[in-house]
Chain A
Amino acid sequence: MTGALLRRSLRRKLNGWVTLSVVGAFLALLPSLYIFFGLFQKQNENWQHIQEYMLLDYALQSLWLVLGTGACTIIVGVTLAWLVAAYDFPLRRFFSFAFVLPLAIPPYIAAYTYGSMLSYTGSIQTILRDTFGLTLDQRYFDIMSMKGAIFIFTLFLFPYVYLITKTFLEKQSAVFIENARLLGKNQTHIFFRIVLPMSQAAIVGGASLVAFEVLNDFGVTKHFGIQSFTAAIFKTWFGMYDVESAIRLSAWLMTLIIGIFIVERLVRKRKKYSSPTNRSTPLTRRKLRGIPMYATVIFGLVIVSFSFVIPVVQLSVWATWTYGEVLNETFWKLLSNTLFISSISITILMLLAVIVANVIRFSRGSIFAVALTRLISMGYSIPGAVLSIGVMAVVMSVDKELSSFYSWLGLGANKLVLSMSLFMLTFAYIIRFLAVGFNAVEAGFEKTGNRYSEAARMLGMSMTRTFFKVDLPLIRGAVLTGFILVFMEIVKELPLTLLLRPYNFETLATKAYQYASDEQIHQAAIPSLCIIAVGIVSVIFYHWLGERKAK
């Protein structure tokens, strides 16, 4: 009886769309599986050494970095979100957007920009010496340290906390805050007793994004010489050629990440406050006057200068020094490489994202849908270095399996075809950023709902025809958003590209990094500005979408 029912529902649900989604999700899981299996391999001597002398250090350094950055981004992000959401002051609308702009600048670019500016021969000390005749203690300018790294990460990652918290405060908090005001509480009391506890889930959500970014980072820690987990993976992999230990380190890092995940879930579990009515009244802003107003404006200007204006101006100045030398054929090759690899990856990625989102929306809430969503979104929280090593292991073993096929094709024995090609990098990009594209498409489907598709099916169209005639035209905007956001992510992605590109394949990001690590920081300005330009376009686009939605 139930057997027949099961067969009926299997026969019904197993169509091309579902099969493709399941295959996609499985492929996305594969690299992580490889890494976890790495834990059960026999330990080699090198690992014993690493474990005894270095592991604790790596862990502590990464932990300090995450905790320090987390705390600072929360302080800056929440303060700014509260100011923008609850008060009115000159330039408020400008700030509301300008505080998102730092997202356009990848932290590694900011790191070598500030690093070079603050060095003995950099612009700041030169101006101080030549104009004011000041030679200060070098300790004041030491940015190449843990504190410096936290400073950089905070300046360029706080927008995650700011954005999520601000949206929450603007949409959800009005009723409670107004009530507190009516009950005679003052502003400080409201902030600490109402706003902070209420937006806890939003803040933790933002901060965990920051934590993932910090753990993913390779450029900043490498440039500043900090022994983080990611830097250590690089070192064991390329310095000691010990892939096994690198995999083992990756597995440990994954454990740390899963830990953060669980903490986030536990904190958010019962704290998803939202007002009981759907009708959300916007918060009425209070006008600031006098000293608080000036202080707020100055604070905002300082943040915008440090987190956007100063580095961009500095890079532009360097660009004017070096454009003659940098803008040559190699540079155009860089551009076309970047566009080529990103367009291939984005096309496949968005196809998969659309397919999975289309499958999930008809079975929302089922265990199958939840599992599929988790698997698809997993890549985004795996650090680039870890993912690369997993992808590498997978692709190499595929190559090994295929070696007889290769020699049959006449390519020669023991040839590594896939691992030497762009296939590996494309595969990794797709796994890592699938979540970004998927979320955009899913938001589109959620907005249109299922009724149009149901109407189309009732009129005799199959799922596939319905998709092309009804769904796709209706979610076009969401798909475009996905394209742009993923494009920004791929263009600025450093560790994945660095590790998995074929020999001599340079993109804007790898070239900028290479210039910077060869002490040719001024030459890095032009590729960096290109990356920032792409970032600015997508931030503007995203902001514009948000504004339109609000209307």
Chain B
Amino acid sequence: MTFFEVKNLTFGYASGNGSVIRDFSLQMEQGEVVGLLGNSGCGKSTLLRLIAGLESPKSGRIQIDGKVLVDQGQFVEPEQRGIGMIFQDYALFPHLTVEQNILFGLHRLSIAERLVRLKEMLALVQLEGYGKRYPHELSGGQQQRVAFARALAPRPAILLMDEPFSNLDAELKTKIRDDLKRMLRAAKMTSILVTHDKADAETICNRIIRMTR
């Protein structure tokens, strides 16, 4: 059964003419990892922002688990969507520690549950003992894992990743990529990975979609 569906999505910036995305459709099963591959400027990051609710489409529909997120008449705000996202530069809050960053999205849980979840997440990303550090005290790879833990902690229905490897050097990248694959499988996460690197997508994803302008 289709878990996540994008139908005839069209988007254009208010200032520009023409559409960045035209009539885009996609269906995903639960637990599937889809890679969106394309050159810069083809609209793949915009697509993620539309799914996340950070931009609103001109037309089309997005729904998840039978619930409509956006169509002509409705718009669910990003904080109500239950979608996790890993940003290209991670956007870890610089004024909060690793623990506080991971706890940030857990405000709907009880305090006891929060701590349990925090422990689970630190274990999953193998960063036990780093909880009290600030983001700038971590290496690039560690930061990326914190971003992953933070996005995954509130148990999102779907995880979006926007070029999560672009800030890592080549050597580190292979290892992190394998780690990420392991963690995604372990969490059975339905996810979309945006990248311009074919190897990234081939390693991690079940299915690859090429986007062209």
- A residues bordering B, Cβ < 8 Å? 1, 4-5, 7-9, 11-12, 365-366, 451-452, 454-462, 469-470, 473-474
Residues in B whose Cβ lies below 8 Å from that of A462: 77, 79
- List chain B residues, Cβ under 8 A from A459: 79, 84, 104-105, 150-151, 154
Report yes or no: B54 in contact with A454, Cβ–Cβ below 8 A.
yes
Chain B: how many interface residues by the 8 Å CB criterion?
34
In angstroms, Cα B78 to Cα A457, docked, is 6
Q: Check A460–B108 contact: CB distance below 8 A.
A: yes
Kindly state whether residue B110 has any CB partner on chain A within 8 Å. no
Contact B91 A454 (CB under 8 A): yes
- By Cβ-Cβ distance, the 10 closest A-B pairs, closest first, are A459-B105, A455-B91, A451-B91, A457-B78, A458-B85, A4-B72, A473-B95, A460-B79, A4-B73, A457-B79
Please measure, in the bound complex, the distance between the C-alpha atom of A451 and the C-alpha atom of B150, giving whole angstroms: 15
A461-B79, A461-B105 provided; 5 other pairs, C-beta below 8 A?
Answer: A8-B73, A8-B74, A459-B151, A460-B154, A474-B94
Convert B50-81 into 0s and 1s, putting 1 for each residue whose CB lies closer than 8 angstroms to a CB of A: 00111010110000000000001111011110
Q: Cα distance A451–B82 when bound, in Å? A: 18
Contact with A along B76-118 (1 / 0, CB 8 A): 0111101111010101111100000000110110000000000
User: Is B17 on the interface with A (CB-CB < 8 A)?
Assistant: no
By beta carbon, the residue of chain A nearest B78 is A457
Q: Are B91 and A8 in contact (CB under 8 A)?
A: no
- Nearest Cβ on chain B to A373's Cβ, whole angstroms: 16
Is B139 part of the contact surface with A, judged by Cβ < 8 Å? no
Collect the chain B residues with CB atoms within 8 Å of residue A7's CB.
73
- Grouping DSSP codes into helix (H, G, I), strand (E, B) and loop, the A interface class, with mixed when no group exceeds half, is helix
The CA of A456 and the CA of B79, in the complex, are separated in Å by: 8
- CA A462 to CA B108, docked complex, whole Å: 12
Q: Are B94 and A458 in contact (CB-based, < 8 A)? A: no
Q: Report whether B87 and A461 are in contact in the complex, using a CB–CB cutoff of 8 Å.
A: no
Residues of A within 8 Å of B89, CB to CB, are 451
Most A C-beta atoms less than 10 A away, residue of B80, B83, B91, B105: B91
Residue of B nearest to A362 (CB): B54
CA distance A8 to B73 in the complex (A): 6
A11 to B77, CA, bound (A): 11
Chain B residues with CB under 8 Å of A5's CB are: 58-59, 72
Among A459, A460, A474, which residue has the most Cβ atoms of chain B within 10 A? A459
Contact B79 A454 (CB under 8 A): no
CB-nearest residue of chain A relative to B105? A459
CB-nearest residue of chain B relative to A449? Answer: B91
Indicate if the CB atoms of A455 and B72 lie closer than 8 Å: no
Q: Are A365 and B75 interface neighbours, CB within 8 A? A: no
Are B104 and A8 interface neighbours, CB within 8 A? Answer: no
Q: Are B77 and A12 closer than 8 Å at their CB atoms?
A: yes
What residue in chain A is nearest B72 (Cβ atoms)? Answer: A4
* CA gap between A457 and B91 in the complex, in Å: 12
